[in-house]
Chain A
Amino acid sequence: EPEVTQTPSHQVTQMGQEVILRCVPISNHLYFYWYRQILGQKVEFLVSFYNNEISEKSEIFDDQFSVERPDGSNFTLKIRSTKLEDSAMYFCASSHDRDGWDTEAFFGQGTRLTVV
């Protein structure tokens, strides 16, 4: 069964450092997403991406965040200057169609980011 792959599984970084979280979505999918989940809290939407541009972003996705699809397979989330409160699980997801009514999203296993 096809799956969304995320690397690394765990990243530890010092406050103020830049991190890049990587994702390989399912190959024929067109829509890509990042979500995060702070320990013990809800899964929160960060950003959606289609046709090489951001289609929607949440209030959390401020100027320190950026996304990129540098080639035909990878989808990355960059956090420019990490803060302690960025510590969370970050999930990448992809779906084939935008019509959220009648399609499913596939999620990766997540990257646990720890900012120290």
Chain B
Amino acid sequence: DAKTTQPNSMESNEEEPVHLPCNHSTISGTDYIHWYRQLPSQGPEYVIHGLTSNVNNRMASLAIAEDRKSSTLILHRATLRDAAVYYCILRDGRDDKIIFGKGTRLHILP
């Protein structure tokens, strides 16, 4: 899997939007951008993924830069339950495993 770069940690206030950045300057044309999160003492959980266009689902939105070298996971209204480690991961069809990096630890302030 190609490399991604994320901030080690971020803080946000409850009920405010959160923008989690990810840089992936070496992304290839067939790499999908996936986001997973890991709540405390739980297994990783899928959040969202995309290729080129911005994506929305019930959990979050994914904004992908036009050159695809960066992306941003957007939590529209953070709750305390969103405190977790968020992983930005590139996946291609040659490899079905997920390679986790260190991710961004998101702290939500009440």
Contact = CB atoms under 8 A, between A and B. Distances in A.
Interface of A: 4, 31, 33, 35, 42-45, 48, 55-56, 91, 93, 95, 98-102, 104-110
Interface of B: 30-32, 34, 38, 42-46, 49, 51, 91-93, 95-102
Contact of A33 (B38, B45, B97): B97
Contact of A101 (B32, B45, B100, B102): B32
Nearest to B50: A102
B44 A45 contact: no
Given A104-B46, A104-B49, A98 B102 contact: no
A48 B42 contact: no
Contact of A107 (B44, B91, B93, B95): B44
Given A33-B97, A100-B92, A42 B102 contact: yes
A108 B43 contact: yes
A77 B34 CA distance: 26
18 contacts: A31-B96, A35-B100, A42-B102, A43-B38, A44-B100, A48-B96, A48-B97, A93-B44, A98-B96, A99-B96, A100-B92, A100-B97, A101-B92, A102-B51, A105-B44, A107-B44, A109-B43, A110-B43
Nearest to B33: A101
Contacts of B91: 100-101
A105 B31 CA distance: 16
Nearest to B89: A100
A43 B42 contact: no
